[in-house]
Structure 1
Amino acid sequence: MGSGGVAIAALPTVICLKVPFSDGLGGGNKQQLQYVFVLSLVGSVAFFFLMPIAEGSPFHTNFHYVCHFSIMVMGGLCYLQRDKLVCNGLWKDALAMVVSFVAYFVILKIGKGQCGIRYYSQVLALVPLHLFVYYFYKMCSYSWCQRAFQTPVFGRIIAIIAALTLEIYVVQFSIITNQFNQLFPLNILIVFVLIAFAAYLLKVLTSLFLAILSKEHLVWKEIVKV
């Protein structure tokens, strides 16, 4: 399936994700978002124990789509409560982020390909996975990130990726391929460009669909805007 086909196929998913939360995130309904966060975590744990046993990492199966939803909701919570976040220093938060990153893979290493308790212990990787994103958010709260965003090229690239985060999350596994492995390391750039292009098409289609639903005049400049 090409990038355009992936974008069209993923359109209902993104609409279902964007419509219910657009008012909640924008309006700052923290309590409602907290309920959604807790429910999504509970759903992730329940799905993990109910899904078929994975041969490789369970986080590289359909469980990926379930467990990462709570991370997106947590990102919204972090933003809404950004004034209450305590930053203990750039290097301390960076160290905590690295430790969380390592702990995630250590837990997966212990349970991957195993049976019984060792296999199901991989569900504990949800903890460092969320902590990694949390501390990464804190790292980006320091002044260095603001300065980076103010640079013309780097700032624009990061802004585009940030605007397409949800769409990239939805389409990536339909596009990631090993067909370009012989071109390493160029294959990384090629696959990322394909993912970003499909994500952009999906964003445009979603904006167009939501604009039609709103019954307002179509403003194409806003629809194609990233």
Structure 2
Amino acid sequence: MKERNIGIDILKFIAALIITNSHMELLYGKYSALATGGAIGDVLFFFCSGFTLFLGKMGRFDNWYKRRINRIYPTVFAWAIMGAFIFGYHNDMKYTLINGGGWFVTCIMIYYVILYIIRRIMQNKLKWAFMITSIIVIAWYFIMNPPFGFNMYGGTYLKWGHYFLFMLLGASLGITNKDNWKYSFKRDGLKALGCTIVYYSMLTVARKIEVAQHLELLSLIPLLGITFYLYKFCNSYIMKKLYHNKYIGAIIKFIGGLCLEIYLVQGSLFTDKMNKIFPLNLLIMLIIIIAIAYILRCLSRIFAQTFKPEDYNWKEVFKAY
């Protein structure tokens, strides 16, 4: 793996952990307020996708988009099979194609089309793409005229607009070729902490005081800051040193590589039957989710190889990362 992708590997690892924790409300019991950060986990994944998409070759759109489908949909189909045989899901093909991976997969497949166009005609003008997207999101928000208590990071199509900003941020940093950030734990760490405090403060105020409800839209600014400083942190010397550790690096690459699979499987696995042993139940459930996610990835590789003329490559199927 190229050195420049180490920060993205670490960021995917962080995203996978945040995404899992943010959906664990059931496991926290009376401490459910600690299960948060879903939006942060989502934007980190979009950021990483935008970053890596601007590294590879483009070529003709149909072949380029086919590679994106081959990366995601074997996993979606494998999850549909697991869901039918293990969890009792019975979804038709239309649902599987459009909703089988949840809103996240549908959204990112649309993003791929837009990013291809942007890379073709605006690769050196990503600031303009970012500005245009920002204007669209602001207009979309006010045209919706959201009611008090509206959650723009929740079940709304608006997030399909503003999450694209984070993909563009990743794309912008992906083409700068800068991978050796000088990270100051004092200066940059304080900035990251400040962005986090401002972000959650804005959300809290916006959802409790009606006159300040539009602060939720402005919360995108500190969220962009959180994303940038986390990426910068992941490219710091100390994190790269940890990454190159034989054991720590293997864990980072293994869990980070399962980010998509973890997103798909987690919702079907949570149970409150172990809440009596909190917080140990969180660790146990995390291990279960990672194990099932790994099984899903293996099944998706088998599924993908089944429809190719080559012999099965079992080493590739069970490869950790």
Q: TM-score, normalised by structure 1?
A: 0.69
- Who is 1:151 aligned against? 245
* Superposition pairs of residues 31-46 of structure 1, within 5 angstroms: 31=123, 34=126, 45=138
Partners of 2:301 and 2:109 lie apart in 1 by: 10
Task: Report which structure shows greater RCO (CA 8 Å, sep ≥6).
Answer: 2
Where 1:83 maps in the other structure, the secondary structure is coil
**Given that residues 192 and 229 in structure 2 are in contact (C-alpha distance below 8 angstroms), is that contact kept between their aligned partners in structure 1?**
yes
Q: State the Cα deviation string for residues 56-104 of structure 1 (Å, max 9, x = none).
A: 7543445696354543553354344241886463432211111111111
Alignment partner, residue 10 of structure 2: none
Find the aligned partners of 2:124 and 2:304 in 1 and give their Cα distance: 23
Equivalent position to 1:132, from 202, 226, 250: 226
Q: Please report how far the alpha carbon of residue 211 of structure 1 lies from its aligned counterpart in structure 2 after TM superposition.
A: 4.8
Structure 1 segments unaligned to the other structure (5+ residues): none
Map 1:1-226 to 2 at 5 A.
4-5=82-83, 9-10=100-101, 14=105, 17=108, 21=112, 31=123, 34=126, 45=138, 50=144, 53=147, 55=149, 57-62=151-156, 66=160, 67-68=162-163, 70-72=165-167, 74-83=169-178, 87=182, 89-115=184-210, 117-172=211-266, 175=269, 178=272, 180-208=274-302, 211=305, 217-225=311-319, 226=321
Deviation of the 1:172 alpha carbon = 4.5
In structure 2, give the amino acid aligned to 1:135.
Y
CA contact (8 A) 1:112 1:119 kept: yes
| Separation in 1, partners of 2:133, 2:309 | 32
What is the CA-CA distance between 1:214 and the residue it aligns to?
Answer: 6.4
> Residues 202 and 53 of structure 1: is their aligned pair in 2 closer, same or farther, counting only changes over 3 Å?
farther
> What letter matches 2:282 in structure 1?
I
> Which whole-Å CA distance do the structure 2 matches of 1:200 and 1:44 have between them?
36
Identify unmatched segments of 5+ residues in structure 2.
1-78, 90-95
TM-score (norm 2): 0.52
Give the whole-Å Cα distance in 1 for the aligned partners of 2:266 and 2:146: 22
Task: Give the root-mean-square deviation of aligned CA atoms.
Answer: 4.6
Q: Is the 8 A contact 1:11 1:206 kept in 2?
A: no
AA aligned opposite 1:143: Y
SS in 2 for 1:81: coil
Cα distance per residue 1:87-137 (max 9 Å; x no partner): 46343221111111111111111111443x422221111111121011111
TM-superposed deviation, 1:13: 6.1
Q: Is the 8 A contact 2:111 2:164 kept in 1?
A: no
The residue identity in structure 1 corresponding to 2:101 is A
- Provide the rounded CA distance (Å) in 2 between the counterparts of 1:180 and 1:2: 27
Query: CA 1:205/1:140 → structure 2, altered by over 3 Å: closer, same or farther?
Result: same
Which stretch shows the higher mean deviation, 85-94 or 118-127?
A: 85-94
Cα shift readout 1:9-67 (whole Å, capped 9, x = no counterpart): 32896488479859x89xx9782994876676566556655396475754344569635
The structure that has the greater radius of gyration is 2
More helix by share: 1
Query: Could you say if the C-alpha distance between residues 216 and 73 of structure 1 is closer, same or farther in structure 2, counting changes exceeding 3 Å?
Result: farther
Cα distance in structure 2, aligned partners of 1:217 and 1:33 = 44
Compared CA separation, residues 119 and 95, structure 1 to 2 (3 A): same
Q: After the TM superposition, which of the residue ranges 154-163 and 171-180 deviates more from structure 2? A: 171-180
**One-letter code of the match for 1:10?**
G
